[in-house]
Structure 1
Amino acid sequence: MTLEVSLLGRPTISRGPDPVYQFRSRKSWALLAYLLLAERPPSRARLASLLFDDAEDPLGALRWNLAEVRRGLGPEATVEGDPVVLALPADAMVDVAVLARGSWADAIDLADLGEPLLDGVDVRGAAGFESWLLVEKQRLAGASEAVLHEAAQGLMARGEVARALPHARRVAALSPLDENHQALLIRLLRLSGDDAAAAAQLEAYARLLDDELGVEPGPAVRSALREPLRRTAPVTGSVSIEAIRESGAAAVAAGATDAGIASLRAAVGLADLAEDTRLQVRSRVILAETLVHSLRGMDEEGLAALYAADEIGRGHGQPEWLAEVRVELGYVDFLRARYDRADRWLTDALDLAPDVPWISAKATTYLASVDSDRADYPRALTRFAESIELAREAGDVRRQVFATSMLGRLHLLRGDLDLADDALRTAIELGERDRWLAFLPWPQAFLGELELSRGRVETAASVLSQAFARACQLGDPCWEGVTARALALVAEARGDTAEAFELLADARARCNRLADPYVWLDAYILDAQCDLGVRHEHPDSARWVASMHCLASRTTMREMTVRALVHSAALGDAAAADGARLLAGDLDNPVLDRLVAAAAPRR
């Protein structure tokens, strides 16, 4: 008699052999979905305004629909109070919860995985709810795509290539331009022994890119086709394997990245032949870290190594091994804006190794960054403070630099300029002291923006020019993108709007030129592009706003979603104005509140 609530596809409620319950009103499904998916319990007044504003008695209509929801869920569930709290039995299965927070092994078995939220439920006369529903549909579509990719990676790590292939094909079809999906499919085709199909897949992808974008495939897919998948080197001792791995890491550190990666791949193959579990896990983690952090667009191969390390390390009584693997998995998902998946990996890492300071510092820093990207600012502030202290205790200066710079970004977004100034200058000072010059363009970009917000245009230009030059010397797409964005704001402040538009277009091209961009940054650049476009009536403004809304809502960047709705409202979309007001109510950002109030005054 387990209660099952399915909101993907055609929504249903079932309890074992009992007949499926059918609501008598579409708005009952809308109400149930909102109660299950909202960030926090909503007030009755809010629900009445959201769904029943066109009724003669909105609160009466709400009471009727709440009663309908109670009947549908049965006596073991409760729906009561103000704000309205929905409590389900402990063993209840809700498909959207499994999709967002469950393991890929559980999510992949959902009957309607990939189907739209509330398919066929048309709710009229509720513009604010329609905006919210569109955001949630895109978010869950993104979650389905992430689960399919994760399932293909996980099954590949288990050696179950035949089971992994259908998931890889499906996720590649969902986002055919995504280089990482294509790289995964090509790698699996090769592992299945079908090299001809792998080559044909690359050729088809190259044609698609040329037709759609006029570009060639990047290094991720080409590496998937060339990467050696089987190794026949003789078994050697653990000391020799360690030496090969160390020489590979040293080569990478010295700038000989290709040679270093080749040595690290060889160390993985030798560890497998030696059947040394510790070396198998450790070699893969170091290879993955190198691939993920080497600015080469090779995250997908790094992910494959991490999933394999996770699979090998299970059951060997070394939780610290798995914790290290899951921190890196969480970091990659953070970059890709798969925030629910990142949260799961990073929380697992903390649970596995709670007393290992350097792991706790990394995991907490990335969790705080996830919270910040999703605009859960109170939690992010708490976690950043914790992560900075953990990094200090662990003697991890670079983790302090990373966390402090992200904290400075958060304060800047919320308009706390003095706090932002202190954090960003601290991050820069620590980075210089530790000689981590390769990271400095990130906090310098936000410091330049801060100076600009204080009206110090030439000071901002000086800071940003230095940061941009360093970013270009490093060849880091993210650093180039974020500094180019800020330089565009400087150009606008100087009255050179044409240059500002050119710099923003260049910033997006730079940050997305490889397959492993920091996705939040793309939304951040788009926000500036939309703001400038709307104010100057650029003919591409509507297209930019639509792209930003799709990207932000699909990835649960809540502030960016609200900003996209504000831009849409400025273009005349009244429903977007209602949606912006609705979504901004859950966020703690005075700057955003002022933007929403100006764009969508309460009627």
Structure 2
Amino acid sequence: MGHEREPGRDDVSLVVQLLGQPAITRDGDEAYQPRSRKTWCVLAYLLLCQRPPTRAQLSSLLFSGADDPARALRWSLTEIRRALGPGATVDGDPVVLRLPDHAVVDASLLTRGAWLEAVDLPGLGLDLLEGTSVRDAPGYDAWLLAQQSHLRAAGEAVLHEAALGSMAVCQLDTALRHATRLVTLDPLDEGHQALLIRLYRMTGDDDAAARQLASVRELFDRELGVEPGDVVERAGRAGRQDSATAADTASVDALLEAGSAAISAGAHDAGMAALTAAVAQADATGDAVRRVAARVALAETCIHALRGLDEEGLPRLFEADRIAHDHGLRQGVADARSELGYVDFLRGRYDRAERWLGEALVYAGGAVAPTARALAYLGSVVSDQADYPRAVGLLAESVALAEEAGEPRRAAYALSMLGRVAMLRGDTAEAATQLDRSIAVAEADRWLALLPWPQALRGELHLLAGDRDAGAAMIEQAFARACQLGDPCWEGTATRARALVAEDAGDADEAFRLLGEARVRANRLADPYVWLDGHLLDTLCTLGRRHGHPDTRAWAEALRGVAARGGMRELVVRCALHRAALGEPGEADAAAVIAAEIDNPVLARLVEAALPVGGTT
């Protein structure tokens, strides 16, 4: 269930530890260790960068202060070859590092490996190259800080999976241990706290659950001046699930149908009650197909229809995945892992999302509908990470398969994401085409729950084309629909677009007010779409620089935290450009290094304009 052991682990001959104090071992023994901090920095960069860097880039990034930067780089590469041994190669221009088969890099295992192995990494919770600092390399320092933040977030994601995975197989003591460690790493995350409280309740330790809930209330009041959200309070009220004593498959089917109908009609409480009963009834029948279906239906309701309840839906997905895997129900595994990937996508845990979705595609086995779903989510994941060519390919394939499967809603969603990619890359004509298609498909299927998203983006395109009236009209319609739905993401998106209308009309004060409101709306629940918050902060920084707003530096600092944790590469670059404009040294060079990995003409022009003559290219 997403935690099968990695193949070939018994054959590991080379281990590169980058988390905490760096070290290299070969065949279980300590190998030759590079003698300089900058050599470790070169190794970490080569192992973690998205695209092989040129020698000129590496020299500029780390050795610009040396008398002979090229020679200093050659010495470091020689050190790396000696440390990694004969099975590895480090050569060329760009510099390509290839490790031997079955080599393990702890930072890579943390982001791409199965949680069952990643959770036991000695460096879990420690910083990348902990304690390592370099002089005269501000661009590298900026890259390192971003990577450290990203890997800390990856460590939390692994512990979160480990707690849920252990819970799904009734290893509650193990799950408690992981959840406790998770809360220690980030005590202000409501999802982490809710998981720990829920686990205490599941083990029957109601006193511990009550103490933890009281502690969370006191912590949030002291640190944030607010009460914890509903997800925490609901966890405190959660009880152990009672099993149905007798049931038949017809009753389960009827409950699933009734629950789905109630949710579609907006009767959420009745729908949740029916679907929760369906889970218990399905368990009583022992029918594996229905046990999986009931859990996936309940989880999808928590995640998509109700929002704010992802943490309640996730355990059901892990249970569904385990049952489906144990009974050879490949379709069920694909469904569960697609939805697990979707949740991680929303939360900015892209490495974990890509793993889930990649596995979902394997289990889908080419079946049209589940493949279309996994591809739509995966395209969204890589789009958030600014891998635009890959995103376009995945999303376009999802549209084609969704149309083949007769799933217009899946097609409308993928088309909206294609439109967003085109907008970000400055291709306004393509963006208009895809967003118009998305709107038309959603309207034809009466999928009102999606419409505010493509409509807000399409309204922004009208603004860019100089048609403020058409833009404002479409954006106001998107905002009204989003508020009627009560969807935080769509409300935040539409409110941002309203801010752009205000700024276009010359009312900067109203624009800043609306952008602040957009962040409140988008983040009011415990499971927000994290990329959107970064997008809003980037807009605040852009307008803040344009109008000389005094809070621009604070917004840039907040953006750096959001973008770096998730590995949102374009937003990392944009943040560095904002900070460079505010006078922070090395940020323009750092932006250039990361932007070189991104295929976006708009971003390339921004970086080029920010670089001083002779800066990094």
**Shorter-chain TM band:** over 0.9
Match of 1:207 in 2: 218
Aligned partner of 1:426 among 431, 437, 444: 437
Partner of 2:559 in structure 1?
A: 548
- Aligned counterpart, 1:91: 102
How much has 1:20 moved relative to structure 2? 4.2
Whether the 8 Å CA contact 2:416–2:435 is kept in 1: the answer is yes
Question: Contact 1:410–1:420 at 8 Å: present in 2 too?
Answer: yes
CA distance in 2, matches of 1:243, 1:69: 63
Contact map agreement 2:376 2:410 (CA 8 A) in 1: yes
Residues 116 and 137 in structure 1, CA contact (< 8 A), matched pair in contact too = yes
Give the drift of 1:369. 0.7
Give the corresponding residue for 1:263. 274
Alignment-derived partner of residue 366 in structure 2: 355
1:546-585 paired onto structure 2 within 5 Å? 546-585=557-596
Aligned partner of residue 25 in structure 2, secondary structure? strand
Question: Which residue among 388, 394, 397 is the counterpart of 1:383?
Answer: 394
From 591, 599, 602, the equivalent of 2:610 is 599
Give structure 1 stretches of 5+ with no counterpart. none
Structure 1 residues 17 and 409, CA, compared in 2 at 3 Å: closer, same or farther?
closer
- Which residue is equivalent to 1:534? 545
Q: Percent identity, aligned pairs only?
A: 55
**1:296–1:19 Cα change, 3 Å:** closer
Residue of structure 1 equivalent to 2:188: 177
The one of 107, 121, 128 equivalent to 1:117 is 128
Work out the CA distance in 2 between the residues paired with 1:357 and 1:439: 22
Shift of 1:209: 2.3
Give the whole-Å Cα distance in 1 for the aligned partners of 2:186 and 2:464: 38
Cα distance in 2 for partners of 1:576, 1:456 equals 35
Deviations along 1:81-118, one digit per CA (max 9) or x if unpaired, are: 22211111111111011101100001001011010000
Residue 339 of structure 1: aligned partner: 350
Q: Does 1:392 align with 2:403?
A: yes
- What's the TM-score once normalised by structure 2's chain length? 0.96
Structure 2 residues not aligned, in runs of 5+: 1-11
Q: 2:243·2:283 contact (CA, 8 Å) conserved in 1? A: no
Aligned counterparts, 1:137-148, within 5 A: 137-148=148-159
8 A contact 1:114–1:144 mirrored in 2: yes
Distance 2:136 2:335 in 1: 50
1:102 aligns with 2:141: no
Q: One-letter code of the match for 1:401?
A: A
Q: Does 1:197 align with 2:232?
A: no
- Secondary structure of the 1:294 match is helix
Map of 1:302 onto structure 2: 313
User: 1:153-178 CA deviation, whole Å, 9 max, x = no partner?
Assistant: 11111111101112111212222221
- Per the TM alignment, residue 225 of structure 1 is displaced from its structure 2 partner at its CA by 2.1
Equivalent residue of 1:314, what SS? Answer: helix
Partner residue, 2:32: 21
Kept in 2, the 8 Å contact 1:146–1:338? The answer is yes
Q: CA deviation at 1:253?
A: 1.5
Deviates more, 1:98-107 or 1:290-299: 290-299
SS of residue paired to 1:4: strand
Q: Deviations over 1:276-326 (max 9, x none)?
A: 222211110000011111133101111110011111221312211101111
Shift of 1:16: 3.0
Give me the whole-angstrom Cα distance separating, in 2, the residues matched to 1:203 and 1:256: 32
- Confirm whether residue 453 of structure 1 aligns to residue 457 of structure 2: no
Determine the C-alpha separation between the residues in 2 that align with 1:146 and 1:513: 21
State the match for 1:249 in structure 2.
260
**SS at the partner of 1:5?**
strand
Task: State the secondary structure of the residue aligned to 1:9.
Answer: coil
Cα shift at 1:453? 1.2
Give the aligned partner of residue 8 of structure 2: none
8 A contact 1:183–1:300 mirrored in 2: yes
- State the shift of 1:539 in Å: 2.3
Q: Does 1:314 align with 2:305?
A: no
Per-residue CA deviation, residues 358-396 of structure 1 (Å, 9 max, x unaligned), is 101011111111111100011111112111111111111
CA contact (8 A) 1:165 1:188 kept: yes
Equivalent residue letter for 1:578: D
2: distance between equivalents of 1:601 and 1:424?
Answer: 37
CA shift at 1:227, angstroms?
2.9
Aligned residues of 2:125 and 2:185 also touching (Cα < 8 A): no
Tell whether the 8 Å contact from 2:268 to 2:306 is kept in structure 1 after alignment: no
Matched, 1:281 2:292: yes
| Partner Cα separation in structure 2 for residue 76 and residue 372 of structure 1 | 35
What SS does structure 1 have at the residue aligned with 2:21?
coil
Q: Tell me which of 69, 74, 78 is aligned to 1:63.
A: 74
Aligned equivalent of 1:75 = 86
Query: What residue is the counterpart of 1:465 in the other structure?
Result: 476
Count of residue pairs brought into register by the alignment? 603
Q: Which whole-Å deviations, capped at 9, do the CAs of 1:417-469 have from their partners, x for residues lacking one?
A: 11111111111111111111221110011111111112222221111111101
Matched with 2:334 is: 323
Rounded to whole Å, the distance in 2 between the matches of 1:19 and 1:596 is 42
1:133-192 C-alpha deviation (Å, 9 max, x unpaired): 111111111111111111111111111110111211121222222111111111111112
> How far apart, in 2, do the equivalents of 1:465 and 1:149 lie?
39
The one of 27, 43, 52 equivalent to 1:32 is 43
Say whether the 8 Å CA contact 1:219–1:296 is kept in structure 2. Answer: no
Q: Give the distance between the partners of 1:281 and 1:135, measured in 2 at CA.
A: 39
Show CA shifts across 1:54-93 (max 9, x none).
1111111111111100111111111112221111111111
Bigger mean CA offset, 402-411 vs 380-389 = 380-389
In the TM superposition, 1:497-508 aligns within 5 A as 497-508=508-519
3-state SS of paired residue (1:560): helix
Secondary structure (helix, strand or coil) at the match of 1:21 reads coil
Q: TM-score, normalised by structure 1?
A: 0.98
DSSP-derived class of the 1:23 partner:
coil
State which of 161, 171, 178 in structure 2 corresponds to 1:160: 171
Q: In structure 1, which of residues 128, 142, 148 is the aligned counterpart of residue 139 of structure 2? A: 128
